[in-house]
């Protein structure tokens, strides 16, 4: 396996030097990166272009779960659940350094809830085919032992079941690096500003380097649109009159201190006032609360909580925790936009399909959207199948079901390190500053920032503090404190000066303020 040069000059040289590709993928989120991995694994030449950073949109703002979707059982979507659970098993096998089992406990406050919930979770286990362990009925004492801060008044017991947790942004980065391992090219901070059309067929893209403003043309036998919640915008580059496929909704997540749920288990509230579920999940030394499902007519790059969403999450948590978190306890609030399939105003977004759609336009543009992180690989497989047909590429089957991702341990029986760097950890710790943490309260070291710049395509303070490390999502105020040190290291790595540092710190400080105060007005 060759070692690619991930430096920015090398990436732009690739873009400038090769004009014709088998497949160009637009969008560097979960689905786009999955498409690039899948196409490269089949032996096609691949270029992926991302206007911002890998996973900068929805794909870094998930609930951090790889799961079948317990609530979809109640909706009768058994095929969707079975499909997602099969993909869960594959991710646990292919990326064990980033995806790990997590036990959930569902507290029950009515005598009949425990057997009803238990029956539903038995079906969940059956669809999963075992693997992570079976659900267990718990009495009240064992429920409190698992969830020490659960509200005990009226508690009848609970049900425990297994699912999986992951770091979404780090998994996206592992996919980006896998693209290169397979001989493909993925470039962030490069925007697709237009599609090339000849004879009515989409045959390439117009690209703008967001750092320099320089423009390039890249031709392809087929273009895959994997722009997520912005997929309709890309579709309209080819045909401005095309009707939309998407009806976005947003999910708000709040991060609070570990004292609100100090044990190793997560809590699931099976039905909230709006018909969803609420998760309280231990995550990187904090607790993640969420989420909502609120329709919105627009798709901003940095969505904010809408009126009432933060209060809804806090109020729901308060009904199930002995000590209720308040607004002052929120360390960070982040919002993800879901690219749900659906049109019109007839139904709530929570009822819209979480399944995916592959659409092929009359001009041959392949668009893939919908779905969720858990099923990204299957979405990519379907999209590349369609792309091969559109382009007349050699018909090759996808090998990704059994493809270890970058950083996963070799198939020699070695245990997977519980480390987001996986097998790269040794390389990271050989760099200067491996033992110097940049700010108390985070694990981020000087060496990890240097590695982000040298090997992980990080270009900005936000790239490092939001996605290479999850500081912005864990504690926005503390992340702002770390920004000057990160900027100084990046400046040294990039060979830029004090003006760049000052501008980066100011930009990140403004961003962190939005995450720190979810109730603030713009």
CATH number of the structural domain spanning residue 484: 1.10.8
pLDDT value at position 413? Answer: 59
pLDDT value at position 432? Answer: 98
506 and 384 part of one domain: no
pLDDT value at position 348? Answer: 45
Q: How many domains, in total, are found in the chain?
A: 3
Residue 208 within any structural domain of the chain = yes
240 and 253 part of one domain: no
- 8 A C-beta contact, residue 168 and residue 62: yes
Residue 221 within any structural domain of the chain = yes
pLDDT value at position 85? Answer: 95
Residue 9 within any structural domain of the chain = no
pLDDT tens-digit readout, 433-464: 999 999 999 999 999 999 999 999 999 999 99
Residue 91 within any structural domain of the chain = no
Residue identified by tokens 């990080």 is: 458
188 and 310 part of one domain: no
Q: Hey, what long-range contacts does 411-416 have (CB within 8 A, 24 or more apart)?
A: 416/96, 416/97
pLDDT value at position 64? Answer: 98
Among left, alpha and beta (phi > 0; psi -120 to 50; other), residue 517 is beta
253 and 240 part of one domain: no
334 and 358 part of one domain: no
What is d(CA 480, CA 482) in angstroms, rounded to the nearest whole number?
5
Helix (H, G, I), strand (E, B) or coil at 77: coil
- 8 A C-beta contact, residue 39 and residue 184: yes
Domain end (from 304, 338, 372): 338
205 and 234 part of one domain: yes
Residue 63 within any structural domain of the chain = no
461 and 396 part of one domain: no
Domain end (from 338, 362, 391): 338
433 and 510 part of one domain: yes
Return the sign of the alpha-carbon dihedral for residues 481, 6, 179, 48: positive
pLDDT-flagged residues of the chain (< 70): 1-4, 343-354, 411-417, 519-522
- Report percent pLDDT > 90 for the chain: 87
pLDDT tens-digit readout, 235-291: 999 999 999 999 999 999 999 999 999 999 999 998 887 778 899 999 999 999 999
220 and 368 part of one domain: yes
254 and 229 part of one domain: no
Q: How many CB atoms lie within 10 A of CB 347?
A: 11
What is the pTM for the complete model shown? 0.96
Residue 415 within any structural domain of the chain = no
360 and 235 part of one domain: yes
pLDDT tens-digit readout, 411-441: 665 666 689 999 999 999 999 999 999 999 9
Domain end (from 338, 360, 382): 338
Q: Hey, what long-range contacts does 413-421 have (CB within 8 A, 24 or more apart)?
A: 416/96, 416/97, 417/97, 418/97, 418/100, 419/97, 420/97, 420/98, 420/167, 420/170, 421/97, 421/451
377 and 229 part of one domain: yes
What is d(CA 262, CA 257) in angstroms, rounded to the nearest whole number?
9
Domain housing 308: 249-338
Helix (H, G, I), strand (E, B) or coil at 499: helix
CATH number of the structural domain spanning residue 310: 3.30.9.10
Contacts of 3 (CB under 8 A, 6+ apart): none
Residue 312 within any structural domain of the chain = yes
Residue 129 within any structural domain of the chain = no
């Amino acid at each position: 396996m060759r070692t690619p040069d991930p430096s920015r000059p090398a990436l732009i040289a690739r873009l400038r030097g090769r004009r014709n590709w088998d497949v160009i993928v637009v969008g560097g989120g979960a689905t786009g990166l999955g498409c690039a991995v899948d196409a490269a694994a089949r032996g096609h030449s691949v270029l992926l272009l991302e206007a911002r950073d890998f996973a900068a949109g929805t794909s870094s703002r998930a609930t951090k779960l790889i799961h079948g979707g317990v609530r979809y059982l109640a909706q009768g979507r058994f095929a969707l659940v079975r499909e997602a659970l099969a993909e869960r098993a594959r991710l646990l096998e292919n990326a064990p350094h980033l995806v790990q089992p997590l036990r959930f406990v569902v507290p029950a406050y009515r005598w009949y809830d425990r057997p009803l919930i238990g029956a539903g979770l038995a079906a969940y286990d059956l669809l999963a085919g075992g693997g992570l362990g079976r659900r267990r009925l718990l009495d009240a004492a064992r429920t409190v032992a698992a969830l020490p801060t659960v509200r005990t008044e009226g508690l009848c017991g609970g049900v425990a079941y297994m699912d999986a947790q992951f770091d979404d942004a780090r998994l996206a980065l592992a996919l980006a690096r896998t693209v290169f391992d397979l001989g493909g090219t993925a470039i962030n901070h490069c925007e697709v500003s237009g599609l090339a059309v000849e004879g009515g067929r989409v045959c390439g893209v117009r690209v703008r380097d967001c750092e320099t403003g320089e423009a390039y043309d890249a031709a392809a036998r087929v273009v895959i649109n994997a722009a997520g919640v912005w997929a309709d915008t890309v579709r309209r580059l080819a045909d401005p009159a095309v009707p939309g496929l998407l009806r976005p909704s947003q999910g708000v997540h709040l991060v609070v201190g570990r004292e609100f749920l100090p044990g190793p288990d997560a809590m699931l509230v099976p039905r909230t006032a709006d018909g969803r579920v609420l998760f309280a999940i231990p995550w990187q030394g904090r607790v993640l609360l969420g989420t909502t499902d609120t329709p919105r007519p627009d798709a901003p790059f940095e969505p904010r909580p809408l009126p009432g969403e933060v209060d809804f999450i806090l109020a729901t948590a308060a009904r199930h925790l002995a000590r209720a978190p308040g607004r002052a306890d929120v360390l960070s609030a982040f919002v993800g936009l879901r690219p749900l399939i659906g049109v019109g105003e007839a139904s709530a977004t929570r009822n819209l399909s979480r399944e995916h759609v592959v659409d092929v336009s009359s001009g041959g543009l392949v668009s893939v959207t919908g779905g969720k992180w858990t099923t990204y690989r299957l979405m990519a497989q379907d999209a590349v199948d369609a792309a091969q047909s559109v382009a007349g590429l050699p018909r090759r089957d996808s090998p990704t079901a059994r493809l270890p991702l970058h950083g996963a341990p070799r198939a020699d029986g070695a245990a997977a390190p519980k480390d987001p760097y996986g097998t790269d950890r040794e390389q990271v710790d050989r760099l200067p500053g491996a033992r110097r943490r940049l700010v108390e309260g985070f694990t981020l070291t000087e060496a990890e920032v240097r590695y982000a710049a040298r090997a992980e395509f990080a270009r900005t303070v936000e790239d490092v503090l939001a996605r290479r490390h999850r500081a912005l999502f864990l504690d926005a105020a503390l992340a702002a404190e770390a920004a000057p040190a990160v900027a100084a290291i990046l400046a040294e790595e990039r060979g830029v000066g004090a003006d760049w540092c000052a501008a980066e710190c100011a930009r990140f400080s403004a961003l962190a303020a939005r995450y720190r105060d979810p109730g603030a007005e713009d």
